[in-house]
């Protein structure tokens, strides 16, 4: 069947009438090549079908939630069994306690857990808990990193006020001097240091945390009596079966989790150490669906799969297969790729492509060949992505390299992206 997007186009027209801009947030395709579908029909394993019926090997995994494969049977079965009993009730199920116990058993720094819905809920609760715990105000925040979309952290400031981030103080990731300078500038008023496990930002190469930075951040927090907060919402369980900085021997006081915690069912969590419990006890936070039983049942089963299967090793192997294959293809077609970050959370950018016109054209060609790649956001490999899937992606990308090479001189940059890049 030839690739087409007629249904998607019609749906976008309808959406423009009843949804601001037709779509919003991180899954809006506004900044993607025009070919990218906005609306999807179904998903299974590593595959995704758009509303026109086009099938893709999906390298976005719902921007993270898909860890084990879409519709992964053991998780679906656990969720369905709970759904029949009850989901959103007048209080939680026993599963809430079991889930907290399971996380405390798996995440070495954690002695307790609180559940919520959005990643932003978890990061916001982390800063509130740190402020309640320390009686201080300042949160040290790595410039240009994403910690959610609440007024204190959203990357687009429309509708927010200076007061929303009056006590957010910025440092440079992987730069201990800038972190210590921020501590000193705050004169004893630092409640917490917020960091992602590595830098995984849009339109940029990814950068792993240096061990010295992770350890130094821990030491500075101890020295100044502040809490270390790790934002695992995007990277959690993609690098390790424990907190991502456990490999460095660094234990945060608080960690925020979300996305893949229940393989697509909606739940996020704040975890903390015994020492950080008091602040968490004092704050009042809640939500209508935070105690719903079905996502908790799904999370318990997802954690069992994380613990008992080789999902992690398989995602790494598949990620490496793709990375190596792309490296060879790029070289043979005369392109240079910057493939950064963990192979199972790849960011793929083109060298000498400042306005992203090459990367965009390449991704659009690959899309039409059945590979859903992302030209500016990190991607995700799930446990359902086989080496064969990666081979299928590589067939699409090989043709994409070839096509882009032929029309390289006629490529144009994306108009809205150009406007935004010019603003910065």
List binders of a second copy among 27-86 (CB under 8 A): 27, 29, 37-44, 48, 51, 58, 60-66, 70-71, 76, 80, 83-86
Which of 74, 92, 370, 413 lies at the binding interface for a second copy (CB under 8 A)? 92
> With helix as H, strand as E and coil as C, how does 128-190 read?
HHHHHHHCCCEEEEECCCCCCCCCCCCCCCCCCCHHHHCCEEEECCCCHHHHHHHHHHCCCCE
Phi-psi region at 139: left, alpha or beta (left = phi > 0; alpha = psi -120 to 50) = beta
- Cβ distance to a second copy smaller for residue 81 or 331: 81
- Residue 6 lies near a second copy (rule: CB under 8 A): no
Q: Which range, of 149-157, 169-177, 344-352, 390-398, touches a second copy by CB under 8 A? A: 149-157
| Binding residues among 366-395 for a second copy as defined by CB under 8 A | 372
In the complex, minimum distance from the CB of residue 149 to a second copy, in angstroms, rounded to a whole number: 5
Residue 161: CB atoms within 10 Å: 9
Among 46, 208, 319, 376, smallest CA distance to 327 is for: 319
| Closest of 109, 58, 91 to residue 214, by C-alpha | 109
> Considering only residues 78, 107, 128, 349, which one is a binding residue for a second copy as defined by CB under 8 A?
128
Distance CA 300, CA 135 (A): 34
Q: By C-beta, is 227 or 330 nearer to a second copy?
A: 227
Hey, is 56 helix, strand or coil? strand
Q: Comparing C-alpha atoms, which of 47, 28, 26 is closest to residue 234?
A: 26
**Is 94 among the residues that bind a second copy (CB under 8 A)?**
yes
Residues 280-339 that bind a second copy (CB under 8 A): 280-293, 295
Cα 108 to Cα 242: distance, rounded to the nearest angstrom: 6
Q: Which residue lies nearer to a second copy by CB, 86 or 225?
A: 86
Closest separation between CB of residue 343 and a second copy, Å?
20
Nearer of residues 56 and 224 to a second copy, judged by Cβ: 56
Cβ at position 299, least distance to a second copy in Å: 13
The number of C-alpha atoms within 13 Å of 408 and in the hemisphere containing its C-beta is: 12
Residue recorded with tokens 């192979």: 343
Backbone angles phi, psi at 289, to 5 degrees: -115, 10
Q: How far is the CB of 328 from a second copy (least distance, A)?
A: 27
For a second copy, the binding residues in 97-126 under the rule CB under 8 A are: 97, 100-101, 103-104, 111-114, 117-121, 124
Greatest alpha-carbon pair distance for the chain in Å reads: 65
The answer to whether 196 touches 134, Cβ cutoff 8 Å, is: no
Q: Interaction with a second copy in 230-289: which residues (CB under 8 A)? A: 233, 258-259, 264-266, 268, 272, 277, 279-289
Whether the Cβ atoms of residue 360 and residue 414 lie closer than 8 Å to each other? yes
Task: Examine residue 363 and tell whether it contacts a second copy (CB under 8 A).
Answer: no
For a second copy, the closer CB: 168 or 411: 168
Q: Which is nearer to a second copy, 3 or 39 (CB)?
A: 39
For residue 139, give the nearest of 212, 194, 96, 57 by alpha carbon: 194
Smallest gap from Cβ 280 to a second copy, in A, equals 4
Of 153 and 403, CB closest to a second copy: 153
* Contact status, residue 301 vs residue 74, Cβ threshold 8 Å: yes
Q: Which is nearer to a second copy, 289 or 419 (CB)?
A: 289
Q: Which two tokens stand for residue 349?
A: 């950018």
- To a second copy, the closest distance from the beta carbon of 3 in angstroms equals 17
* Pick 122 or 361: Cβ nearer a second copy: 122
Q: How far apart are CA 195 and CA 145, in angstroms?
A: 8
Site string for a second copy, 164-203 (x = CB under 8 A): x-xx------------------------------------
Smallest distance from the beta carbon of 265 to a second copy, in angstroms?
Answer: 7
Taking CB under 8 A as the binding criterion, the range among 22-30, 182-190, 222-230, 357-365 that sits at the site for a second copy is 22-30
């Amino acid at each position: 069947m030839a690739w087409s997007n007629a249904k998607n186009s019609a749906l976008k027209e309808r959406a423009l009438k009843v949804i601001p801009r037709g779509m919003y947030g991180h899954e809006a395709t506004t900044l993607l090549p025009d070919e990218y579908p906005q609306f999807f029909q179904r998903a299974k394993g590593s595959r995704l079908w758009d509303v026109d019926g086009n099938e893709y090997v999906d390298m976005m995994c719902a921007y993270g939630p898909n860890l084990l494969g879409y519709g992964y049977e053991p998780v679906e079965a656990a969720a369905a069994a709970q759904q029949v009993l009850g989901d959103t009730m007048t209080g939680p199920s026993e599963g809430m306690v079991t889930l907290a116990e399971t996380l405390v058993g798996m995440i070495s720094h954690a002695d307790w857990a609180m559940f919520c819905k959005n990643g932003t809920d978890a990061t916001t609760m982390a800063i509130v808990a740190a402020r309640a715990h320390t009686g201080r105000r300042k949160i040290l925040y790595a410039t240009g990193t994403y910690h959610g979309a609440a007024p204190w952290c959203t990357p687009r400031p429309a509708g927010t006020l200076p007061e929303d981030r009056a006590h957010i103080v910025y440092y440079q990731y992987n730069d201990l001097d800038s972190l210590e300078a921020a501590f000193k500038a705050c004169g004893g008023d630092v409640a917490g240091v917020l960091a992602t496990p590595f830098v995984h930002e849009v339109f940029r190469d990814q950068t792993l945390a240096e061990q010295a930075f992770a350890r130094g951040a821990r030491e500075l927090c101890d020295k100044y009596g502040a809490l270390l907060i790790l934002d695992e919402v995007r990277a959690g369980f993609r690098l390790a079966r424990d907190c991502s900085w456990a490999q460095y021997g660094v234990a945060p006081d608080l960690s925020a989790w979300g996305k893949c915690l229940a393989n697509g069912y909606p739940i996020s969590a704040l975890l903390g150490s015994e020492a950080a419990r008091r602040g968490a006890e004092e704050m009042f936070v809640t939500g209508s669906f935070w105690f719903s039983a079905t996502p908790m049942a799904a999370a318990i089963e997802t954690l069992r799969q994380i613990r008992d299967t080789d999902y992690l090793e398989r995602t790494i192997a598949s990620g490496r297969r793709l990375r190596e294959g792309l490296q060879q293809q790029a070289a043979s077609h005369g392109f240079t790729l910057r493939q950064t970050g963990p192979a199972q959370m790849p960011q793929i950018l083109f060298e000498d492509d400042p306005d992203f016109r090459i990367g965009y054209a390449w991704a659009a060609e690959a899309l039409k060949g059945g590979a859903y790649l992302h030209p500016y956001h990190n991607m995700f490999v799930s446990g359902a992505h086989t080496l064969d899937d990666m081979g299928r992606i590589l067939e699409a990308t090989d043709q994409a390299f070839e096509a882009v090479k032929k029309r390289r001189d006629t490529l144009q940059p994306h108009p809205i992206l150009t406007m935004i890049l010019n603003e910065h």
